[in-house]
Amino acid sequence: MNPMKLSAVLCPLLAFALPAAGQQSTGGPPRPRMVPPPAAAQQAAPARESDLPHNVELTLEGSLFGTVPTDFSVTTGGRTVNTDMPLEADGPVPTVGSFQANLTPGEPWQVMVSLGVQMPVKNGSHIEYRNLTLNTTVRIAPGKKVVLWQKGEQKLTLSMEKAEE
């Protein structure tokens, strides 16, 4: 066979079969080289899941379950609120309520609200306690009010404002 014809056949075969000089063979096809993205393409660290874009003030106003007047506010910069509320009832002892909220920013915001009250009820010579709860999810925009509970003229509203820094 003519050496020119032989080199024309062997050169492409050798180029495919032998790895490039300085590289070790791994037994498979060559692997693509991983190139890190340029610094401009890298994004800033995302905000923590629990952070809000700004502090907000949540306010409950009105009558809780028709018998417990309330005017309570709490300010938060996180997505979760969990607190006790001192309340005054028309009963023999003070009432304590619980307020929990989970906030999801948006247009409008979504607020999951859980309210609980242990109401004292006088039964003869002793006092019994009745647990009342309200669990709901509402959408609310900053600067607006939403009615959580209403019976006739009695109602309980939730409002949300951007808190002043």
| pLDDT recorded at residue 42 | 46
Q: Which secondary-structure segment (H or E) carries 127? A: strand 126-140
| pLDDT recorded at residue 41 | 46
Residue appearing with tokens 């306690």: 129
pLDDT in tens, 111-161: 999 998 887 778 899 888 888 899 999 999 999 999 998 988 889 999 999
pLDDT in tens, 3-38: 555 455 444 544 444 454 445 555 556 665 655 555
| pLDDT recorded at residue 26 | 54
Is the separation of the CB atoms in 95 and 88 below 8 Å? yes
| pLDDT recorded at residue 28 | 58
pLDDT in tens, 54-72: 899 999 999 877 777 888 9
- Per-domain residue ranges of the chain: 51-162
- Mean of the pLDDT values across residues 75-85? 92
Q: Which residues contact 111 (CB under 8 A, 6 or more apart)?
A: 58, 101, 102, 103, 104, 137, 138, 139, 140, 158, 160
